Every structure is written in C-alpha cells, then in structure tokens.
Amino acid sequence: MLHSWNQGENHLIWNFIPGSPPDYNTVVDLSLGKALVAGAGFSTWTYRVGFDVSLPVHSSLAEKLQLCAQENDSECTKTWLAVSSQTNLHSDYYRELSSLPELVQLKSCDGNQTLRCYDGQTYRYPEVLQVSTYLLVK
C-alpha cells in the first residue's frame, strides 16, 4: 500500500529471523513482488535466485568466541579440511555429506547448544570451528 511500492521494485527488505531456535520463521509474510530480501535462514524453498541476499544467522554464542591471536597459536591448529556443525540437517543432506571423507560433521551432544561431538570427542561450539580450514554452512 506504499505510494512508491511499484510491486516492490527498487526496495530492499531486511529479515532478521523472528522466532527462536529451532523454529525460526524464515519466510517474510508479505507480498514481496520484485523486492529484494536480505536475511538469514533461507531454505531452498524460500530463497529466490536473483532477488534475495543470504546473510549468516547471528548467534549469541559468537560473543563468547575467543579468536586465535595468531595463526601459529597451538590451540588454533587447523585439524580438519572442512567442517559442518549444523545440527538440523535434513536426513538426505546428511547422508550425502557423510559420503565426503574430507568433511567432518559435528553432531549435537545430548541437545546441548554449546557442545558438538565427533568420533567420541566433545568440542566447545563455536570455538571448534577454528580448527577447520573451511566451514560448510547450509
């Protein structure tokens, strides 16, 4: 109903993901038309190629992250080539990614949001992300 809406052309809508984990509302409940959406949490069903800009989801855990002071810091040695730490992957994606030997898939430890498990070891999240060269974010 905006006077200058023009079917959303030349408009940018920011979606800061209302809701709480794991039930984020990634869909903007508006008639978007040709408007661009910049936001986080898109899925393959909600992301519109050529219209939307995917942004990372903000995590309050990031505020507690102790970044490596130097690359040669002994605690920051790159142990893995690629890591996925998402705990809510669709089973089809998980099965497909499990076939990649270079990719380490961290799992949730007993539902704890600040811990990830792999190969019998427990790691603190998001600090564990620093021991990988690449991160897979879906």
Amino acid at residue number 2:
L
Amino acid at residue number 81:
L
| Residue where the block lists tokens 């620093």 | 130
Q: Return phi, psi of residue 68, to 5°.
A: -65, 135
Q: Is 131 helix (H, G, I), strand (E, B) or coil?
A: helix
Rounded to two decimals, the pTM is 0.47
Per-residue pLDDT 10s for the chain (138 aa) are: 778 888 888 888 887 665 555 665 666 667 888 888 888 777 777 788 888 888 776 666 666 666 564 445 555 666 777 888 877 777 887 788 778 777 888 888 887 888 888 888 888 887 887 777 777 765
C-beta of residue 79 within 8 angstroms of C-beta of residue 132:
yes
C-alpha separations of 12 from 38, 47, 72 in Å: 7, 14, 42
Q: Return phi, psi of residue 56, to 5°.
A: -70, 150
